[in-house]
Amino acid sequence: MITFLVCIAILIIGYFTYGKLIERIFGVNEARQTPAYSQKDGVDYIPMGTNRNSMIQLLNIAGVGPIFGPIMGALYGPVAFIWIVAGSIFAGAVHDYLTGMISIRNHGAHLPQLAGKFLGNSMKHIVNVIAVLLLLLVGTVFVTAPAGLLFNLLDGWVALGVITGVIFAYYILATLLPVDKIIGRVYPILGALLVISAIGIGGMLLFTGAAIPEITLENMHPGGAAIFPLLMITIACGAISGFHATQSPIISRTMESEKNGRKIFYGMMIVEGIIAMIWAAAAMSIFYGTDLSDLIASGGAGLVVSEVAFTLLGAVGGTLAVLGVIVLPITSGDTAFRSARMIIADYIKVPQLKMMNRLWIALPLFVVSFALTNMDFTLLWRYFGVTNAAISAIALFVGAMYLAIQMKFHWVATIPAIFMTMVSFTFIFSAPIGFGLPMTTSYMLAGISTGIVVALFAYKVKLNREIENFKIDEDVTKIA
């Protein structure tokens, strides 16, 4: 219990200390006009208040990742707490802040445009494909996960296919309509449900004096799975997630002032870390060890969610808590498809003022996603995990380049970028869905590959610094 409380306190302190440092290094300009005003279009570029943007950002980034991931990560033991805290403060929140703020400085640009500008034009095309793939996987995962939870909550009263269809219908509307029509209005209500459910679970852990394991570096995974890189792949959205780099530009197009960036981008990642801590602690305390492993094997992380909620909060409170969990994937799935639509539109330079332009880009995405719902959830999650890690590394290198060109202390982004690159390569070389090589060989090859990436990054920094009057802040998305 002491470890749990200390970790929560460190996360909060991290926001006020390290978050402030990152803000100072970046250099906020409160007088600079944001894209919400400079490119206001009534669809994607619309000024919205800080509190509303904060809640939208939280719900955008907090899908099932900070719940399902930490539950599966709880199999490793309290070492998962260390990754959640360190990852959130030094990697995830830095990642979210820099991608959001650099997007604001470049008129709401999405990651592919930013990667092309700062890392080279070839990266624009590569990141565009990876980002759209990631968003399709996220959208699909965030259809199947809440549909399954609702199906179980309703005890099979409504057919799974009907629930899935209703979620898809909502996603289509949220993807096509102006951001303030559904997302801007519904999210504050759904956000309250999310916060209440998290507070309820966390409060009951404290009230009941739950036996949460204290800190240890020991790997307690029943199957002996390697902590590095598997823990970092498993607990992504609760520590660092490339998916967030696709979501932050949605808010960069609606923020009223740069001064709100730390609260919205850095702060909401810290809140997500706290949510991840609560669910990891709940899973460890109630079903730790073999029981948790068996429960996940029999019904997945969703079954653990239901068991935790009803065990700690009873029938009524448990139902509300499960509804709060269902809210998470739905409010990330809708913006996943919205982001995919915006990224493709920016890439092929199609204005989004007309409904038909939005429709013909979005509908194929839903067709592909519907086909993917027939895939095994565990397999989808693995592909999502490795794609997620790779995107996070690229986004951090974009942030590092942005700072390096200005001779600012870029290591706050470069170090976590190198770490996540090593995570991605190690997983690709060792995982069955990758090359399936022995861990020792995978570590060696990942180290060599990461070294090559770092050398290329350093060379690109040198080239960009030599460009006279490199315009780090300019419009890279205008498609008039």
- Whether 363 shows a pLDDT value over 90: the answer reads no
* pTM of the predicted protein model: 0.88
Please check whether residue 337 lies inside any domain of the structure.
Answer: yes
Is 368 a member of any domain? yes
Catalogue the long-range contacts made by 14-20 (C-beta closer than 8 Å, 24 or more residues apart).
Answer: 14/85, 14/88, 14/89, 14/93, 14/270, 15/93, 15/262, 15/266, 15/267, 15/270, 18/89, 18/90, 18/93, 19/93, 19/97, 19/262, 19/266, 19/267, 19/270, 20/262
Instruction: With respect to residue 87, please indicate whether it lies within any of the assigned structural domains.
Output: yes
Model pLDDT, residue 397:
97
Give tens-digit pLDDT for 238-277: 899 998 998 888 899 999 999 999 999 999 999 999 999 9
Decide if 434 is inside a domain: no
What CATH number did the domain enclosing 15 receive?
1.20.1740.10
Instruction: For 39-92, write each residue's pLDDT tens digit.
Output: 998 888 999 999 889 988 888 887 666 888 888 888 898 999 999 999 999 999
* Per-residue pLDDT at 300: 66
| Residue 183 maps to a domain | yes
Signed CA dihedral, 22, 24, 25, 30: sign only: positive
Residue 478 inside a domain? The answer is no
Give per-residue pLDDT as tens, 79-131: 999 999 999 999 999 999 999 999 999 999 999 999 999 999 889 999 988 88
Q: pLDDT of 431-465, one tens digit each?
A: 888 899 999 999 999 999 999 999 999 999 999 99
**Reported confidence tier of residue 475, pLDDT bands at 50, 70, 90:** low
Domain count, the chain: 1
Q: What is the pLDDT of residue 64?
A: 67
Q: Do the domain assignments include residue 436?
A: no
Distance CA(318)–CA(245), nearest Å, equals: 32
DSSP class of residue 259?
A: G
Range of the domain at 195: 2-24+38-394
Residues 252-278 as b or e (16 or more Cβ within 10 Å = b): bbbbebbebbbbbbbbbbbbbbbbbbb
In a domain, 409, yes or no: no
Instruction: Give the CA distances from residue 414 to residues 150, 159, 264, 373, 408, in Å, rounded to whole numbers and listed in that order.
Output: 41, 48, 22, 36, 12
Reported as a single tens digit per residue, the pLDDT across 386-410 is 888 999 999 999 999 999 999 999 9
How would residue 6 be classed by pLDDT, with cut points 50, 70 and 90?
very high
Split at pLDDT 50, 70, 90, the class of 376 is low
Residue 142 has pLDDT above 80, yes or no: no
Return the C-alpha torsion angle 55, 61, 62, 63, nearest 10.
130
Residue 463: which residues within 8 A CB-CB, separation 6 or more? Answer: none
At how many degrees (to 10) do helices 268-287 and 183-207 cross?
A: 40
User: Is the pLDDT higher at 258 or at 310?
Assistant: 258
Q: Give the pLDDT confidence score for residue 479 in this predicted structure.
A: 38
Using pLDDT thresholds of 50, 70 and 90, give the confidence band for residue 413.
Answer: very high
Mean pLDDT (whole number) for 204-216? 83
Q: What is the pLDDT of residue 288?
A: 61
| For the ranges 160-174, 215-229, 441-455, the one whose mean pLDDT is highest | 441-455
